[in-house]
Amino acid sequence: MALIVKREKNTLKIELPLEPAVPSKSGKSDVVASSHGVVITEAKYKGKPIALTVNAFVYRDRGPRKLEQSETEPEGN
């Protein structure tokens, strides 16, 4: 796993390679990228290391509804 985490001002950038799809425990999705648990990064927030966990997956069937563009934009835009 080559997880790359960078903090650039108020943005946390995470780069994680795609892996061969593996069925999730529920069987409803396939995991295509994962940190495989909590990872303590070298990126800092107020002097403390940032911890994170990352999972990327695809639904096997239809999955949940897609958000409309207006639902994904921050308020005030």
Residue 46 lies in a domain: yes
- Answer yes or no: pTM beyond 0.85: no
The predicted structure's pLDDT at residue 70: 64
Residue 66 lies in a domain: no
What's the mean pLDDT in 48-59? 94
Residue 18 lies in a domain: yes
- When the pLDDT of each residue in the chain is averaged and rounded to a whole number, the result is 85
Residue 77 lies in a domain: no
Domain that holds residue 44: 4-61
- Kindly report, residue by residue over 34-51, the tens digit of the pLDDT: 999 999 999 999 999 999
Residue 72 lies in a domain: no
Residue 70 lies in a domain: no
Q: How far apart are CA 17 and CA 31, in angstroms?
A: 12
Give the total number of structural domains in the chain.
1
User: With 70 as the cut, is the pLDDT of residue 30 above it?
Assistant: yes
User: Which of 50 and 2 is assigned the larger pLDDT?
Assistant: 50
The amino acid present at 10, given as its one-letter code, is: N
The predicted structure's pLDDT at residue 64: 66
